[in-house]
Structure 1
């Protein structure tokens, strides 16, 4: 079960024209926004990556405007875990449970999930906050992650799992985000 004290959110490569080309882009960006705002309510650490930003561009404003001082980590490898700066940032959080959002599900999200699972981390992929250029590739990526031992979840499932109860002091804050 997810707990705020043990969880980190990784936001992978929401950049430039690639982000605009995602299947079901509007829902993807809305759910990514909800995840980022929700984890901020719980003071959960956030790590953001950018795939070769000199070529693909920076994180899109819909996401970057929510980051409040978080500097994206530039990477060249598809898996975030192949980047030393990312791994240092992850270890520095002290978190054991990894939430993944981002693009593309069948490439960077999938390869990151595989490496994290191999390293012993419980991985939770927020299925409505990941996408690929085609819905088919998104589904293939999610299935591959599930087959490798990752947990497939959703934005609301994560946020309400972190709350545990409607009596939680942050319930109203989370409810405002998801409504």
Structure 2
């Protein structure tokens, strides 16, 4: 049996994608407050470490805009509207990533729903030879069965399952770096239970 090597995280080679963290999902997605808190942490950490961030909104006319707590405008995060489930099937997202971040080969992915938009985005990213790190405590669905089996399937296809703290400390890599103290402040408070 061959062993798959886990690509080392690097802030200079990675990109954070935030998928469809929208208002309409607030009351339907399992553990939404927890995954929102973790997404906020990832967003703040990404900005501290100079990691670019791209966000999408699935049919915002019907599902609302990105939740206010993420405050994407504050971080100058580009937000793309889409109707396709995969973020990469949206031409504007795909061309933005290709034109702005073609040197980045690792994607850190969070958002909703695990078995739909996250699932299809991950497959497209893997087909384009990206290393995909799914932040499981920042990804959910309307029910746990869909969530768990999406994670199982995506891991078998080659995605890496991880947590927000693992990602943030993996990006810092060294407690001697100046960014470590700021990242440490982000992770000091335990995140609420996300059902995993």
TM range (shorter): over 0.9
After TM superposition, the score normalised by the length of structure 2 is 0.88
Quote how far apart the aligned CAs of 1:97 are: 0.4
Number of aligned residue pairs:
179
Shift of 1:50: 0.4
Q: Confirm whether residue 113 of structure 1 aligns to residue 122 of structure 2.
A: yes
- List gaps (5 residues or longer) in structure 1: none
Match of 1:75 in 2: 82
Mark the CA change 1:65 to 1:117 in structure 2 (over 3 Å): closer, same or farther.
closer
Whether 1:15 aligns to 2:28 is: no
Q: Distance in 1 between matches of 2:130 and 2:74?
A: 24
Aligned to 1:31: 38
1:136 paired with 2:145, answer yes
What's the counterpart of residue 52 of structure 2? 45
**Deviations for 1:31-84, whole angstroms, at most 9, x for unmatched residues?**
111111011100100000000111111001112357522231001100111111
| Contact 1:159–1:174 under 8 Å retained in 2 | yes
| Residues 19, 103 of structure 1: 8 Å contact kept | no
The whole-number CA distance in structure 1 between the counterparts of 2:57 and 2:115 is: 16
Q: 1:64 is matched with which residue: 53, 57, 71?
A: 71
What is the alpha-carbon distance in structure 2 between the residues aligned to residue 45 and residue 90 of structure 1?
10
Unaligned stretches of 5+ in structure 2? Answer: 1-7, 189-196
Q: What is the aligned partner in structure 1 of residue 159 from structure 2? A: 150
For residues 135 and 102 of structure 1, what CA distance do their matches in structure 2 show?
A: 15
Note if contact 2:18-2:110 (Cα within 8 Å) is conserved in structure 1: yes
CA contact (8 A) 2:14 2:108 kept: yes
Report the secondary structure of 1:4's partner residue: coil
Structure 1 moving runs of 4+ over 6 Å? none
SS at match of 2:94: helix
Secondary structure at the counterpart of residue 2 of structure 1 = coil
Query: 1:148: Cα distance to partner?
Result: 0.9
The separation in 1 between residues aligned to 2:135 and 2:113, in whole angstroms, is: 13
Q: Which has the larger radius of gyration?
A: 2
